[in-house]
Structure 1
């Protein structure tokens, strides 16, 4: 199989993975619906930069070294699971705060008002970087589809494809969710979105932590 075919296969597999709902998808939906387009795009950029780093780590052998270390994989899973638990609990606290404010007839406020682009980028970057499934996915994807014999230009194109598709996908998602008409609808549904995303984060995070100890 020539390099062009390998790169097309890589792009297709990555697109399928991006379309599958997970922590990154939930994070963009939750924050774009609540905080608007600028924050949604910043989170999309943060996620894509973490994917860029995962790709570089996988192709340079850093990810393989992490996986082969006797303690690093467990520590990485605990950190990732713990961070997802934090995001989930924070989202559920936001739902409770909104419900409590409505019950008292007061303006609803989020537990965490995300207004800084830098903070949004950091949140997206951290969520993806600490996701242990992302580490394993990119290591498996790139070691199976990018042979050692591939040219340096081919490897650079592979990294560019993974980063570009990631940013384009999550930026498009943030853009669509923050159109004028759509924004009116999603703002009304913000507590429900927070609740669904919170439960998703808690389930995934606690599952990772429990599996690590088990």
Structure 2
């Protein structure tokens, strides 16, 4: 049976969760402004794929696993925080470097951006915490296959629409031009935000 009420609840919760800025937002915005819209959309595709994975885990009971085995949750938390610190630190370190040329971006940037989207979201503490707690609580304990697929479809549409819009906006010539004019300072700011999110996750 298709439970439209359960999907509506998940939709209302997920829209709020995905719009709140975090590492995914910063990664997409930075990629769009610094390279091309195609690379940014590659990053979006990676993020959406992992969101579908986390949503599936939440619906199937990953929150119960974390509650039963706290060390797993701790290990995931530390690994995610460590990646964010590394990712943000790399942005700060390379803030003054020149970006890739459009030809370089066309030759392999989209696939690399896709992998970066997967990596960023796979160890994103914000995503893991949201899906393990909030999303899992919003989803019913038992769902039919049609409802399960409907929930995943909701996640895919919302995430693709939001992050896709962010990618297109930050890839517009005006925004991209402003980014390139202030690349060093913006990269340092983005890197600092990501590092701060990682450190906050370690001490939270």
The interval holding the TM-score normalised by the smaller chain is 0.7 to 0.9
Shift of 1:119: 1.6
Residue equivalent to 1:169: 162
Q: CA RMSD in A?
A: 2.2
Pick closer, same or farther for the CA change 1:133–1:179 going to 2, 3 Å.
closer
Name the stretch that deviates more: 183-192 or 35-44. Answer: 183-192
Runs of 4 or more above 6 Å deviation: none
Q: Which blocks of at least 5 consecutive residues in structure 1 are unaligned? A: 99-107
1:156 maps to what in 2?
Answer: 149
Do the aligned residues in 2 keep the contact of 1:33 with 1:190 (CA within 8 Å)? no
Alpha-carbon distance, 1:28 to partner: 0.8
Secondary structure of residue in 2 paired with 1:148:
coil
Question: Alpha-carbon deviation of 1:63?
Answer: 4.5
- Unmatched 5+ stretches in structure 2: none
Closer/same/farther in 2, CA of residues 74 and 144 from structure 1, 3 Å limit: closer
Structure 1 segment 56-205 matched on structure 2, within 5 A:
56-95=56-95, 98=96, 108-110=97-99, 116-205=109-198
- Please say if residues 30 and 190 of structure 1, whose CA atoms lie closer than 8 Å, have aligned partners that are also in contact: no
Larger radius of gyration: 1
Which string of whole-angstrom CA distances, capped at 9 and with x for unpartnered residues, describes residues 62-97 of structure 1? 4531442142111111110010001111111122xx
TM-score (norm 2): 0.87
Whether the aligned pair in 2 keeps the contact of 1:91 and 1:198 (CA below 8 Å) is: yes
Q: Report how many residues are paired.
A: 198
